[in-house]
Structure 1
């Protein structure tokens, strides 16, 4: 199902974090794989009973009808059985959602500190800590509540649908309608075709050459054929040929089926419930956030006791020292990290949606920016996706109408998913000839396409005289089953010399950029017979149909832009290597070495990994070849994206760090993807990559600022605690300072990002963060000590009676230095001159500065135990802050030259 136009008001809905209930089905499938045989006996028995039942018994059991159920009956069934969604896709109650937003390590830690403050009768401190937790939790809750709405709107655009038959209660007439999968109920009659996801547990009513991929449930790599006949002697429902199960997909063929189980009452739903309570394996993004979070928490847990011991020993007041150390612990807790991360990701999703890129899973945005290898198919990505039938020739290159007629009959009568080649054939045939062909030919059977044989056949009856098997497919696979070739009106045996001549003809067509499909046939007696793959033997090669799919004009500049952005593009195609190589040359993609599918088969993993790293073009691949190549590239440490839209791309989409599909893709490809493009263009993809990097850069700003600022503050506190006869700042001052600083960081997701920060892939580097803390944290301590000296010697705040002046002076200097350092660390360049921040960040900075200074002069100063600072203090303060910014800029320049700047 294609996307609808995105309404403008929808952009506001995307501006918050990913709801937890938007879960990838393929992640669950991977979790439950291999345990399909361990289901409750009751469900297995129900499925076996349905497999054994006749059609009439099924209609009676589910209150259904051959023409489909009515809307009223569907509503009644939905109220009884619920929506067709698994448990973790259902909406959370508001209170459970609020609990999830509150439950992060920072909020839990702050809650403990707040409870300790309350127990020690520090009510003001407990109030401020509670306010910090409340702001963080509510911001997160509001964001995710909006995000839930965004998810519903998003899923309405990208969700898969099913073709169901519904009858009119008044007229009794039946019509087929496209319904969201969630609306299906037991008793619904649905139609299946190639590329469809199986939307629920089904019992087949009719089927034609239906092949289902059940690998997710059973581990079988090859599709299994499904038939209407029941096999009641089997112990496992998964072995029943007339049952299909949610989570699998149609590879080829068509069918009519009845829904016999939805939601939790499906095999997939039962298996999913077993893994919902299990922790999912974190991806690279989640692991990075977790490492940073626990790094900061461990740092706090180590430094807080040291502050307690020093203050208790030097001041002699262990009670006050304990309160101060608690406040230091709060100040070291980056409680806004979850909110900053989700806000930044959500803003990235907003911008991507405006660029025709829909994000199904928000934390995929960071992987988008980290991607350094993009694997993609050739057709529709490098090329225009507008295939035309350029030639139809006999085996020796002469134009031939007989070949076109055979190709048309094959494409017209096949029931599988008609690809662009079939559409081109059907559009090419003379409309006046079509009725004549249909008058003389009647379909008898077909042998569906699969990616191992790379061909498909239809069997037609000619004027009730005989049957004719018409086969078309990839050249090498077709030559392997042909024993004769038609030369004008004669049929002659295929010899080595003729094969060499045929390959010269087809190679010449390939080198012209034409994709060659061979056409062959075989005369059979008109008898009742069920045809199969074994009948595809001793065929007569009739000739070829050759297609042209020229490159897009935008492909070459898009590839150049991706290369400049540090993304290597590799082509993984099932097409002929000569055609693919010509297209690559035309778009400026070096393809000197080509790796073929048969070579991939013969390589062990280490050998293939080395070859994959240096190869740009892979041709004549099967779906499993694509998946294996993607997995090996990931094992080498690359962040790999895969772009595909067909049934054959689904395994590789799941295997990649980031799966990318398009709105026109088949259901199974869209289901496996993390990102959906509304336009199948590498240029759109390149814009998405850059946006992913901007998103990551803004997240990293907050983490760097928080880490370095906290590290420096602790040094300052330790120095002041060791030498001052009073506390350098009251616990309340530390809490207010931290609260104001955190509020100022809300604007970071809206900040600008320098162009040079998005030229290369962005990835988590915990080692770089630790180095950054060590170099930039102590710089603030230097100027904090200068402030201490200024207040002690110049303003004589060196006695316990003058401690309020000292504390007010450091409160203002600490708040302003923490706020201004944001502008120093947000860019590797000279701030405000070479790199300008976004206006929201400037406004928030100004608000915090004015509020911080204003508090010391406001009526609240006495309550907060602050005092108005002498005006002569502010020129000194400006000098200290200017020195801080200059030194930071100098160290930053050295740091960039030595270690780079992520």
Structure 2
């Protein structure tokens, strides 16, 4: 059903749903309706099985190439070569599956938003019914602390306030009523409606269920996340391009080899074997494992910082982002109203430190003149805030709780203070009155404490009480104070009091009986920034990552927070959802221009947030979207990387790639750093593997051009690429973060893995290794050494080249001698292991036969080491020249 329930009169809602306010649905009605509407559950996505996750590991172009190489090797009888390749593929799949399955289990929130019980009237009796059994037409009863189990139209309310921030992004609970509204009212202004997943803060209410499951506003958002396609992770895009490039290169070189070999009269069978050997040398077989290791390491580092990474590629995706679109409430702010400023009628201002619902903080330059304003705020208060075993527990309206926190900071125990006074009469807050008041006995006199909206309190006041002195009230000055605070994004509460008589009234007193109230001052509240967020946003800016705020909150409040963070400078940086609504969709040039310029988007709908993200992507950004409410879910799904807060809704956690369990924005910045580190480490691995592969290809071509036998057998090439080099390239994936990594601009979205510097390094280092190895090969053959022994020496030289080149690959720009070994002690272990396993192979009879190798005398080994060291000299000269440019 898609009706404008908020615009209908209660009688029309009852008639349309064929229900009865006094009796509720009958059992017969319920049984019939369940067949039509189904259960009241949100759409959910099944957790992938281990088998599905395992199968997903093979969906990579590079894996396809490796499988093809393995099949070719099997067809031509090279079973050892094929076995090596398939072992690598299987090891990579198992490692990736283990990581992703563990992350999925950790992130499985399983959408518990509607798994609650609801007080429901069925057959004229009030029963506790599982929320999933609710149906349109059911009459339900809500009270403080309840989760709203379905979309409801209220028919009775009593001081009912509901926190709907998960849908609207607004941090203030809204007071509900039953009056019908105009059809064009947005969700945030539908005061006669309650929406599934929201929370009752105070009061009581009775409502008619009008929508369940998929039909609720929350269900529509959940449906949108299922239907919206996720963008490909940046690493997947880059690796697909890299795999295609490698495929074309291998194919091109193989064709060239075939032409040259055919020209020289080599038999076609031998040409085929040469092509396979060449393909094996060119394909970086160890790369999938290295990528998985690099991302797994980053994932583990993130888990220690309270971040769950659901898919390995998500780490690098966050590192690739050029733009962070953040929710405000609960992400940048603490989602707890806090008193930050007290302004007296005299103009004196008192700042208050601390954030949230606790007594941590103080009133700066505290004065006894504040006693009356703080005491009145405590007396006219229906909330609770207690320190129970070092944990602050609260209930009630957000503003009331914030005022109790103010009492603690002023040195007053609110509960004890209120209990010390005899309460005569409370006037609770009502939306029509816009104030609350309390009459109480204080010694020999009766006092009135009152708080509320200034426009309601000010007409009741005839004078002010500030600094212990009575003064005539300056209405315009007070209104200007309130306007100034509102323009700074504060929520303003006026506090007043009065002394009535020396005797307790015999009848219940009313505000209309009171004259000449004292205006004590204005209290300014705001949902404050998380303490660590400012530094985190500054770090993003240093890293060249743009930050924008997208919120359903008031534009002035959003601007105040954004200015404090350095996201916005003035009102020109803010736009509202109603202003965006003039554009047809996100592809409109005007919409794109606004998104490109503006950094604060206020009062936006979930659909508009999605469109903003789509526009940012179309403008060429890699977008990370953070959020905690169900209203954020479609945008998170559409972004390059979705980041959900751990305290947020299950809908967002279900579709997010990363979940920040401690709700700390700083963790997002840490994720960017870890992602950049992971990608740089992957580049280091690619540099090592491609350079050594390029050297092997050149070595083959040189031998073919000069009419010499191939210097290495296919099994020896696999040994180099998968075993000796395998130990080393994995250790490169464990490199720590480079010191200036968060001071570099983000990579351009269009940038591939290979940039000009890396291409030059691969060509120079590969050519150096190839020339050195070919020169030795040609010399040994010219001296009459048999091919078997010569290949043994060439293989050892290539192992030594790889051992040394690892240190070149630790940085693309810094000298190998300037990269601290403390950043990665594993690299030493990798080099020792790679060299050690090859020495072991030359002495092991089984491996000797497979690899066709034998031990090398020390007198021969040291000249080989000296020749291999020339590679280090060449690359140091290259980096020296690069640094001078």
User: What TM-score do the two structures reach when normalised by structure 2?
Assistant: 0.66
- 1:164 maps to 116
1:241-263 per-residue CA deviation (whole Å, 9 max, x = no partner) reads: 999999x8789998899999999
- 1:388 maps to 339
Aligned partners of 2:58 and 2:93 also within 8 Å: yes
Aligned partners of 1:393 and 1:400 also within 8 Å: no
Larger CA deviation: 703-712 vs 434-443: 434-443
- 2:86 maps to 130
- 2:878 maps to 891
- 2:572 maps to 595
Larger CA deviation: 645-654 vs 683-692: 645-654
- In the aligned structure 1, how far is the partner of 2:46 from the partner of 2:336? 35
1:791-830 per-residue CA deviation (whole Å, 9 max, x = no partner) reads: 322464668xx22223223322233323432321221322
Deviation at 1:504, TM superposition (A): 2.3
1:806-858 per-residue CA deviation (whole Å, 9 max, x = no partner) reads: 32233222333234323212213222553326233322222122222443443
- Structure 1 stretches of 5 or more lacking a match? 1-34, 38-47, 65-76, 168-173, 178-182, 217-223, 230-240, 448-455, 463-469, 491-496, 522-540
- 1:9 maps to none
1:677-697 per-residue CA deviation (whole Å, 9 max, x = no partner) reads: 455555555444322322222
- Pair 1:862-2:838 in alignment: no
For residue 703 of structure 1, the aligned residue among 686, 694, 704 is: 686
- 1:771 maps to 756
- In the aligned structure 1, how far is the partner of 2:531 from the partner of 2:712? 65
Evaluate the alpha carbon distance shift between residue 255 and residue 708 of structure 1 in structure 2; reply closer, same or farther with a 3 A threshold: farther
Aligned partners of 1:36 and 1:271 also within 8 Å: no
- 1:300 maps to 250
Evaluate the alpha carbon distance shift between residue 159 and residue 851 of structure 1 in structure 2; reply closer, same or farther with a 3 A threshold: same
- 2:105 maps to 152
Deviation at 1:341, TM superposition (A): 2.9
Aligned partners of 1:193 and 1:250 also within 8 Å: no
- In the aligned structure 2, how far is the partner of 1:135 from the partner of 1:672? 28
Aligned partners of 2:544 and 2:746 also within 8 Å: no
Aligned partners of 2:695 and 2:769 also within 8 Å: no
User: What TM-score do the two structures reach when normalised by structure 1?
Assistant: 0.65
Provide the secondary structure at the position in 2 that maps to 1:363.
Answer: helix
Aligned partners of 1:102 and 1:137 also within 8 Å: yes
Evaluate the alpha carbon distance shift between residue 842 and residue 471 of structure 1 in structure 2; reply closer, same or farther with a 3 A threshold: same
- 1:829 maps to 814
- 1:814 maps to 798
Evaluate the alpha carbon distance shift between residue 877 and residue 257 of structure 1 in structure 2; reply closer, same or farther with a 3 A threshold: farther
- In the aligned structure 2, how far is the partner of 1:366 from the partner of 1:210? 43
Evaluate the alpha carbon distance shift between residue 196 and residue 876 of structure 1 in structure 2; reply closer, same or farther with a 3 A threshold: farther
Deviation at 1:769, TM superposition (A): 0.3
Evaluate the alpha carbon distance shift between residue 879 and residue 404 of structure 1 in structure 2; reply closer, same or farther with a 3 A threshold: same
Deviation at 1:457, TM superposition (A): 6.7
Deviation at 1:701, TM superposition (A): 1.9
Provide the secondary structure at the position in 1 that maps to 2:709.
Answer: coil
Provide the secondary structure at the position in 2 that maps to 1:303.
Answer: helix
- In the aligned structure 1, how far is the partner of 2:219 from the partner of 2:737? 44
For residue 731 of structure 1, the aligned residue among 690, 707, 714 is: 714
- 1:850 maps to 836
1:6-62 per-residue CA deviation (whole Å, 9 max, x = no partner) reads: xxxxxxxxxxxxxxxxxxxxxxxxxxxxx999xxxxxxxxxx999667887675788
- In the aligned structure 2, how far is the partner of 1:723 from the partner of 1:118? 30
Deviation at 1:669, TM superposition (A): 6.3
Deviation at 1:426, TM superposition (A): 6.0
Q: How many residues align?
A: 753
Aligned partners of 1:558 and 1:682 also within 8 Å: yes
- In the aligned structure 2, how far is the partner of 1:442 from the partner of 1:794? 102
Aligned partners of 1:163 and 1:192 also within 8 Å: no
Provide the secondary structure at the position in 1 that maps to 2:851.
Answer: coil
Aligned partners of 2:322 and 2:746 also within 8 Å: no
Aligned partners of 1:389 and 1:424 also within 8 Å: no
Aligned partners of 1:328 and 1:734 also within 8 Å: no
- In the aligned structure 1, how far is the partner of 2:475 from the partner of 2:192? 44
Aligned partners of 2:166 and 2:198 also within 8 Å: no
Provide the secondary structure at the position in 2 that maps to 1:829.
Answer: coil
Evaluate the alpha carbon distance shift between residue 404 and residue 634 of structure 1 in structure 2; reply closer, same or farther with a 3 A threshold: farther
Aligned partners of 2:810 and 2:819 also within 8 Å: no
- In the aligned structure 2, how far is the partner of 1:798 from the partner of 1:51? 99
Deviation at 1:886, TM superposition (A): 1.6
- In the aligned structure 1, how far is the partner of 2:209 from the partner of 2:79? 61
1:447-474 per-residue CA deviation (whole Å, 9 max, x = no partner) reads: 9xxxxxxxx9799999xxxxxxx9977x
1:503-544 per-residue CA deviation (whole Å, 9 max, x = no partner) reads: 522255469x782426799xxxxxxxxxxxxxxxxxxx9995
Aligned partners of 1:403 and 1:544 also within 8 Å: no
- Structure 2 stretches of 5 or more lacking a match? 4-13, 120-125, 168-173, 180-190, 349-368, 385-394, 408-413, 440-449, 465-472, 497-518
Provide the secondary structure at the position in 2 that maps to 1:778.
Answer: helix
- In the aligned structure 2, how far is the partner of 1:102 from the partner of 1:809? 37
Aligned partners of 2:536 and 2:666 also within 8 Å: yes
For residue 320 of structure 2, the aligned residue among 356, 361, 370 is: 370
Deviation at 1:731, TM superposition (A): 2.1
Aligned partners of 1:444 and 1:461 also within 8 Å: no
Larger CA deviation: 683-692 vs 728-737: 683-692
- In the aligned structure 2, how far is the partner of 1:551 from the partner of 1:435? 35
- 2:95 maps to 139
Provide the secondary structure at the position in 1 that maps to 2:490.
Answer: strand
Provide the secondary structure at the position in 1 that maps to 2:276.
Answer: helix
For residue 104 of structure 1, the aligned residue among 57, 60, 68 is: 60
- Pair 1:839-2:821 in alignment: no
Aligned partners of 1:371 and 1:567 also within 8 Å: yes
Deviation at 1:148, TM superposition (A): 1.8
Larger CA deviation: 846-855 vs 644-653: 644-653
Deviation at 1:322, TM superposition (A): 1.0
- 2:170 maps to none
Evaluate the alpha carbon distance shift between residue 457 and residue 385 of structure 1 in structure 2; reply closer, same or farther with a 3 A threshold: closer
Aligned partners of 2:435 and 2:457 also within 8 Å: no
- Pair 1:488-2:452 in alignment: no
Provide the secondary structure at the position in 2 that maps to 1:732.
Answer: helix
Evaluate the alpha carbon distance shift between residue 896 and residue 263 of structure 1 in structure 2; reply closer, same or farther with a 3 A threshold: farther
- Pair 1:720-2:720 in alignment: no
Deviation at 1:132, TM superposition (A): 3.3
Aligned partners of 1:162 and 1:191 also within 8 Å: no
Aligned partners of 1:185 and 1:259 also within 8 Å: no
Deviation at 1:675, TM superposition (A): 4.3
Provide the secondary structure at the position in 2 that maps to 1:849.
Answer: helix
Structure number with larger C-alpha Rg: 2
Provide the secondary structure at the position in 2 that maps to 1:355.
Answer: coil
Deviation at 1:595, TM superposition (A): 2.9
- Pair 1:113-2:69 in alignment: yes
- In the aligned structure 2, how far is the partner of 1:362 from the partner of 1:396? 56
Aligned partners of 2:555 and 2:603 also within 8 Å: no
- In the aligned structure 2, how far is the partner of 1:273 from the partner of 1:384? 26
Which structure 2 residues correspond to residues 438-457 of structure 1 after superposition, within 5 A? none
- In the aligned structure 2, how far is the partner of 1:315 from the partner of 1:861? 32
- In the aligned structure 1, how far is the partner of 2:75 from the partner of 2:25? 69
Aligned partners of 1:197 and 1:667 also within 8 Å: no
1:99-139 per-residue CA deviation (whole Å, 9 max, x = no partner) reads: 33344333333333333333333333333333333333333
For residue 882 of structure 1, the aligned residue among 865, 869, 873 is: 869
- In the aligned structure 2, how far is the partner of 1:544 from the partner of 1:118? 82
Deviation at 1:790, TM superposition (A): 2.0
Evaluate the alpha carbon distance shift between residue 155 and residue 568 of structure 1 in structure 2; reply closer, same or farther with a 3 A threshold: same
Aligned partners of 1:186 and 1:259 also within 8 Å: no
Provide the secondary structure at the position in 2 that maps to 1:546.
Answer: strand
Provide the secondary structure at the position in 1 that maps to 2:743.
Answer: coil
- In the aligned structure 2, how far is the partner of 1:890 from the partner of 1:862? 40
- 2:726 maps to 742
- 1:547 maps to 525
Provide the secondary structure at the position in 2 that maps to 1:89.
Answer: coil
